[in-house]
Amino acid sequence: MVNVCISPIITSKNLKKAFGESTPVIDNLTFSIRKGDFVSIIGPNGCGKSTLMNILSGFSSPDHGSVAVNAKNIAYVGQNSDEMLLPWLTVEENIAFPEKLHQIDKVIINNLLVNFKLESSRKKFPGSLSGGMKQATLMIRALAHNSEVLLLDEPFKSLDFDISIRIQQSLLDIWTKYKPTVILISHDIEEAIFLSQKVMIFSDKPTKIKKIIDLKVETKDKNISFLSSDKFLVIKKDILNTFYEK
C-alpha cells in the first residue's frame, strides 16, 4: 500500500474489471493513497490504467471489489482538450464551467491564470488557443474549483517538451501550495519522476502492482537540473528495471 499509517483518501480493494475477455483487464487490485499525495501510474499499453481512472472518476463500475474516494470535489483532466472545452465560451468562462464566472473566486482564477501564463488569453475562445494553452485551461479549471482530488489521464501526451515542462512546473507549484491529492497516468517515466512523490508500476493485464517507489525527493529540488542529476538517473533505472522484469 502507498501509506497505511494515515487515513487514506482513495482506497481500492480486490478490484476486478473485464470487458468480455477471458483475461480481466484488472484483477484483485488493492491499494490506498493518502490525502495530499502525488502518485503517478506507469504500465504497459492496455494494462488498465485508463480503466482504473474511469472507475475512480465514477464513469465506470468495477465487476468485483470496491473503490472509495473520500472527497466531495473530484476533477478529471484527459488527453483531448478539444472534447473537454466548450468552443462558445472564453478561457475564463471555460474555467468557471459548470458555474458562471461571477460564482467563482476571481482572485483564485487570476492567480492561476498568472501561474500558468494565460492571463493575456482569458478572453480568447478555444479555437484560437494552442494545444498547450488548452491543456493549461483544463488544468486551471480543475484547480479553480477547489478540487480535493485531481485525476490526470496523460494530460501532457500531445504537447511539445518545452510546453509540457512549463505546465508541469506550474502544476507542481500549485500542488506544493494547495496539496490536492493527484493521480497521474503517464507514459513518460521522466514526467512521472519530475512530478510525483511516488510511482506505482503496473504489470501487464491482468493488472497487478509490481512495485511502488517512494522517490524521496523534495519538491524544491525538482527543477530542470534535477532531470540530469545522479538521483534522477538512479530512480529512472529502478523504474525501468521494475517495468521490464518478468
State how far the Cα of 207 lies from the Cα of 242, in Å rounded to an integer: 14
Burial label, 3 (beta-carbon count in 10 A; 0-12, 13-18, 19+): middle
What pLDDT does 2 receive? Answer: 44
Q: What's the pLDDT score for residue 206?
A: 85
Domain ranges of the chain: 8-244
Architecture of domain 8-244: 3-Layer(aba) Sandwich (3.40)
The Cα 170–Cα 148 span in angstroms is: 18
Q: Which residues of the chain have pLDDT under 50?
A: 1-4
Neighbours of 114 (CB within 10 A): 12
Across-strand partners of 147? none
Taking the alpha carbons of 34, 39, 44, 46 in that order, is the dihedral positive or negative?
positive
Tell me, what's the pLDDT at 169?
Answer: 85
- The three-state secondary structure class of 1 is coil
β-strands 64-69, 38-42 pairing:
unpaired
154 sits in the region (left: phi over 0; alpha: psi -120 to 50; else beta) called: left
CB atoms closer than 10 angstroms to residue 236: 15
C-alpha distance across the termini of the chain, in Å? 21
Q: Give yes or no for a contact between 67 and 56, defined as CB atoms under 8 angstroms apart.
A: yes
CA 101 to the chain's CA centroid: 25
Cβ pair 82, 242 in contact under 8 A: no
In sign, the C-alpha dihedral spanning 164, 170, 171, 172 is positive
